[in-house]
Chains A and B, each alone.
Chain A
Amino acid sequence: MTKRISFYLLLIIAILYCLCPLLWQFITSLKPDYELTRIPPILPEKPTVAHYISIFKGYPFSRIILNSTIVAASTTIFSLIVGSLCAFGLTKLKVRYKAIILGFVLSVSMFPPIATVSPLYIIIRSLGLRDTWWALIITYTTFSLPLSIWILTNFFKEIPDEIYLAARIDGCSPFQAFQKIILPLSGPGIFTTAILVFIFSWNEFLFALTFTSTPNSRTIPVAIALFQGIHEIPWGDIAAASVTVTVPLVILVFVFQRRIIEGLTAGAIKS
C-alpha cells in the first residue's frame, strides 16, 4: 500500500516538475504590469489579457508567427520529399557504398551548427538571401535530412522486398512503385518524421538569429529572445508570447505523443 502511495507521489512530483515553470509563465502572462513586481500574491488579483493584445498590436507578432509557420511547413515538406526518395533508394535499390553513405548522413547530424554558421552566413549574404525564408528553409531542410532519412529508412525496411518486386513485374518503373506502393504503406513513418522535423524547424535558434535581421523573416525563437522593452524588460509580454507559442506545441505533443516517442526511440534502439 505504501508502495503505491509513494509511487503516485513521485509521479505527481515528476509531473509538477515538468509543468510548473510553464504554469508560472501562464500565470505571469495574465498579470497586469504593476502586479508583476509584487509577490505575494502568486495569482493575479486582476487578470488581464492586455499582454496578449500588446504583442500583436505593438509588435508584428503575427508576421513572426507566419514566418515560423511557413518556414517550418516548407522545411517539413521538402525534407520529406528529399528524405523519402533517399531512403527509398537506400533500402530497395542497388547503391554502392550504402553503409558509407548512411554513415555520412548520420555524421552530419553530429556537426555543431556553430561550425557551419560563418561560411553559410557569407554564402547566404553573397546570394542575397539574407533575411528571406529561403535561407532558413534550405538550411533547415538539409540539417533535418539525417533525421528524415534515418526514420524513413527504418520504416521502408519493414516493407517486404517482394512487394516492391511484384510492383516492378506488374509494370511499374522504380519511381512508380515508390509512388503507388511504398509511400501509401509508410503512412505512420511519414507522419512521425513530419512531426519531428516540424518541431525541429519551429524551435531552431542559431541559424534564425544569424540569417534574419528584420521581422520580415524573423522566426518565433529569435523574436522571443530579442524582446525588448523601452525601459525595462516586458516580462508580461514575453510571458504572453511564450504561452502563445507553446500552446500549439503542447497540443501537438499531447495528440501525437505516441508517434513522437516511436520516432525518437527508433533511432536509439536500432542504433
Chain B
Amino acid sequence: MAEVKFEKVKKSFKDVMVIRELDLTIEDGEFFTFVGPSGCGKSTILNMVAGLEPLTGGRIYFDNILVNELSPKDRDVAMVFQTYALYPHMTVYENIAFPLKMKKLDAKIVDREVKRIVGILGLEEFQQRKPKELSGGQRQRVALGRAIIRRPKVFLMDEPLSNLDARLRIEMRAELKRIHQDLKITTIYVTHDQGEAMSLSDKIAVLLQGEIQQSGKPLDVYLKPANIFVGGFIGSPPMNFLTCSLQNLRPVEVNCNGLIFSPIMEDMPKKGVIMGIRPEDVSISVEPSGDSVEVSVSLVEPAGSFNWVDAQWGRVKIKGTAKVNEDLKAGSRAFMKFSVEKVTVFDAVSGKRL
C-alpha cells in the first residue's frame, strides 16, 4: 500500500517530448486510471512507475521515498501487461509461484499462497496447464494472480482487458473491481476505453499527447469537462458540439443555430463559444412541448430501453434520445429540446470550459 507522487515528471525519447510536466498525487489504496487515445503517453507513465523506463526529469515518490534510482525488484510493484506476458514454458502454478520463488520464500508458504490465489481467481482445475492451453480470460487471470500474489505496494495494469471479447471484458471489469475492494492496493490503470475508466476508477486523469487535460473523480470529469477534448472523449456516444455566436454580453446571450439562450458560464468568452450537450440530455419526441425546436430525423438506433436518434437541426447535426414508444422514422418531423443547465460552454478559441 503506498501513495504515489509525481513531481515535475518529464520524459522524452531522443528529441521527442513524450510526457510534459506531470504533477500528481495518487492516494494510498486508490484506483487511479490514466485514460486517453493511443500514443498519448499513458503506457510510458506506467513504465516509469515500474522502473522499466528511466525519467528524463522530475521525481517519483512512493510514500515520500524517492524511487527514481530503484530497480523494479526493489520498488515492490506488480504489473499486468496487455499481452499478459506469461512464461510459456511454465505451468499456471509455476507462473503464479514464480515471484514468491524469486523472493526465496519457504516452499510450504509458496504453496499455500499459490493455492489461495488460485482459489480466489477460480483457476483450480488449470494449475498444471501451460499458457498456450488456456483461453484469453484464463490467461488474464493467471497474469492477475501472478501480480497479486506478491501483495505489492502498487499495482500497475496496462490495458489488461483490451485483448478480451466484449462480454468477457465486462465480467473481468467486475472482477477487477471486486479484487480491488478486497485488497485495497494502490492501483494505477491505463486504458483507452473511457467506459472502463469510468466504471473502475476512484479517480481518472485524461491524457492527450503527454499532458493531463483533467484529473478528478469520474463523475466530476463527466459532468464538468475541462475542455472540448475531455468533453468529447469522456462519455459514449460523444458529446454534441455546436458552434454559437455571442449575441449579447450582459446578460450573456448566445445564438446557437437560431436558438437564443443564456447559458451558465464562469468566465467570459473571447470571441465565440462552442456549446456542448450530451446526447443523453437531448430529448426528441414527435409532439412539440415547451420551447422545443423542429428537427428532421436522420437515423434511429435502438438501444434497448430507449432509442438514439440522429437528427438534422437546420444546418447542424445533433444526436439525442427518444422514448421507445415514440413513433420516429428516418425522414419524419420531430421536436428536440434540452435543459440549459446541462449545457457546457467552451471558448471557441481555447477550447476551455467557461
Contact = CB atoms under 8 A, between A and B. Distances in A.
Tell whether A pairs with B: yes
B85 to A, nearest CB: 4
A168 B52 contact: yes
B46 to A, nearest CB: 11
A169 B83 contact: no
Interface string B170-210: 00000000000000000000000000000000000000000
A50 to B, nearest CB: 52
A163 interface: yes
B99 A170 contact: yes
B73 A165 contact: no
B102 A169 contact: no
A167 B79 CA distance: 10
A264 interface: no
Contacts of A171: 73, 99, 102-103
A199 interface: no
A187 to B, nearest CB: 9
A181 interface: yes
A214 interface: no
B10 interface: no
A162 B103 contact: no
Contact of B83 (A162, A170, A181): A162
B228 interface: no
Contacts of B52: 165, 168-169
Contacts of A172: 73, 102
Interface in B69-93: 71-73, 77-79, 81, 83, 85-89
Given A165-B81, A170-B98, A181 B87 contact: yes
A169 B52 CA distance: 9
B146 interface: yes
Interface in B32-75: 50, 52, 71-73
Interface in A124-167: 160, 162-163, 165-167
Of the listed residues A169, A171, A181, A185, the one surrounded by the most CB atoms of chain B closer than 10 A to its CB is A169
B81 A166 contact: yes
B56 to A, nearest CB: 15
Given A171-B73, A184-B89, A185-B89, A166 B79 contact: yes
Contacts of B79: 165-166, 169
A160 B103 CA distance: 24
Nearest to A166: B85
Interface in A174-217: 176, 181, 184-185
A170 B81 contact: no
Interface residues of A, number: 16
Contacts of A167: 87, 98
Contacts of B71: 168
Given A162-B83, A176-B102, A169 B89 contact: no
* B interface bracket (residues with beta carbon within 8 Å of A): 20 to 34
A162 B89 CA distance: 15
A163 B87 contact: yes
A45 to B, nearest CB: 58
A162 B85 contact: yes
A176 B73 CA distance: 12
* Residue of A160, A166, A172, A173 with most partner-chain B CB within 10 A: A166
B18 to A, nearest CB: 17
Contact of A169 (B72, B86, B87, B103): B72
Contacts of B50: 169
B62 to A, nearest CB: 15
Nearest to B75: A169
Contacts of B72: 168-169
A168 B70 CA distance: 12
B89 A160 contact: no
A170 B71 CA distance: 11
Contact of B102 (A162, A163, A170, A184): A170
B83 A160 contact: yes
Nearest to A185: B89
Contacts of A160: 83, 85
A168 B85 contact: no
A156 to B, nearest CB: 14
A173 B150 CA distance: 17
A169 B78 contact: yes
A169 B149 CA distance: 13
A30 B50 CA distance: 70
Nearest to A177: B102
Which of A165, A171, A185 has most chain B Cβ within 10 Å? A171
A171 to B, nearest CB: 4
B3 to A, nearest CB: 20
Residue from A170, A171, A172, A185 whose CB has the most chain B CB atoms within 10 Å: A170
B189 to A, nearest CB: 16
Interface of B: 50, 52, 71-73, 77-79, 81, 83, 85-89, 98-99, 102-103, 146, 150
15 contacts: A162-B85, A163-B88, A165-B52, A165-B79, A165-B81, A166-B81, A166-B146, A167-B98, A168-B52, A170-B99, A170-B150, A171-B103, A172-B102, A173-B73, A185-B88
Interface of A: 160, 162-163, 165-173, 176, 181, 184-185
Given A166-B86, A173-B73, 4 more contacts: A160-B83, A163-B86, A163-B87, A167-B98
